[in-house]
């Protein structure tokens, strides 16, 4: 089917108490693997690219690949700009065919975050495209955006932020980090419940790679409607390629590398979708 926006799938998740899995993709093979996993589980799915990924491959290239693969399936597929780092990039993504965008102003102060987010929302409304924003700082590094320490989201600030910007979904900080965790993460899961009490839009969990199944499930139960996975998919992909080259160093055909990589990514995505509870929820 044609690409869909993230709005309905996230509102459905909010209403029925599960989360949509959102998976960062870096190439055609990862796109195919994620969609194949979603198709097998009959799950709605969001595919995401970061600014560094689109710099590597271009917005138009990824939009073309995802649009072509989505057209072959009956499940709802959304293409999302993850951690959009400027107003200009967000607008370019909409024009290129992305059906959901994030503007990440979390490195700005509260008022400037509101200003840049509202600016993107005003344009997105004309395109009919939903906007995700971030309030608070998720630790670790995502592209060029880095936070040395976590600053968890204040519920009342979240309420004001959503009301003043008109965003469709909100990524909140509860102690997660981008990349893999050095130690055991300590998540402020009750904060998810507190934010859900005062915020009407679906909530988003960033930095889920490496979290335990128990942590993810509880965050979803408390109100997270979208869960992002990136680093662990890259690792699954490259580990599969490394293993094949160790076992068969004479391999030179990129397609053979792609096949084992796709199998590994698909397996990882299936496990994470089941964890989010979105299997069987395609509508």
206 is in an annotated binding site: yes
207 is in an annotated binding site: yes
104 is in an annotated binding site: yes
Q: Which of 12, 82, 150, 279 is catalytic?
A: 82
Could you confirm whether 82 is annotated as catalytic? Answer: yes
105 is in an annotated binding site: no
280 is in an annotated binding site: no
106 is in an annotated binding site: no
228 is in an annotated binding site: yes
- Residue 204 in contact with residue 224, Cβ under 8 Å? yes
107 is in an annotated binding site: no
209 is in an annotated binding site: yes
- The two structure tokens encoding residue 167: 């965003």
Question: Cα dist. 269→35, 80, 106, 160, 250 in Å?
Answer: 9, 17, 27, 34, 29
Name the binding residues.
Answer: 83, 104, 134, 178-179, 206-209, 228-231
Instruction: Give the residue numbers marked as catalytic.
Output: 82
Residues annotated in a binding site for dihydroxyacetone phosphate: 179, 207-209, 228-231
Residue numbering of the annotated binding site for Zn(2+): 83, 104, 134, 178, 206
């Amino acid at each position: 089917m044609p690409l869909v926006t993230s709005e309905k799938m996230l509102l459905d998740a909010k209403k029925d108490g599960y989360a949509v899995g959102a998976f960062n993709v870096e190439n055609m093979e990862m796109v195919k693997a994620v969609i194949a996993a979603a198709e097998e589980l009959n799950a709605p799915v969001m595919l995401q690219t970061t600014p560094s990924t689109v710099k590597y491959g271009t917005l138009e290239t990824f939009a073309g690949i995802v649009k072509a693969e989505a057209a072959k399936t009956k499940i709802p597929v959304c293409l999302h700009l993850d951690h959009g780092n400027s107003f200009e990039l967000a607008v370019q993504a909409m024009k290129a065919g992305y059906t959901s965008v994030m503007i990440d102003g979390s490195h700005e102060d509260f008022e400037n975050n509101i200003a840049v987010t509202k600016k993107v929302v005003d344009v997105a409304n004309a395109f009919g495209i939903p906007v995700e924003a971030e309030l608070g700082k998720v630790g670790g590094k995502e592209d060029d955006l880095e936070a040395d320490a976590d600053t968890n989201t204040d519920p009342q600030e979240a309420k004001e932020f959503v009301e003043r910007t008109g965003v469709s979904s909100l990524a909140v900080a509860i102690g997660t980090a981008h990349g893999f965790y050095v130690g055991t993460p300590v998540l402020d899961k009750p904060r998810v419940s507190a934010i859900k009490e005062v915020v009407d839009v679906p909530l988003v969990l960033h930095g889920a790679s490496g979290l335990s199944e128990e942590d993810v499930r509880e965050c979803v139960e408390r109100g997270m409607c979208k869960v992002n996975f990136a680093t662990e998919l890259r690792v699954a992909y490259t580990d599969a390629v490394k293993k094949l080259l160790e076992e068969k160093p004479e391999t030179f055909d990129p397609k053979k590398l792609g096949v084992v990589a796709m199998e590994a990514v698909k397996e990882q995505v299936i496990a994470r979708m089941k964890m989010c509870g979105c299997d069987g929820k395609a509508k």
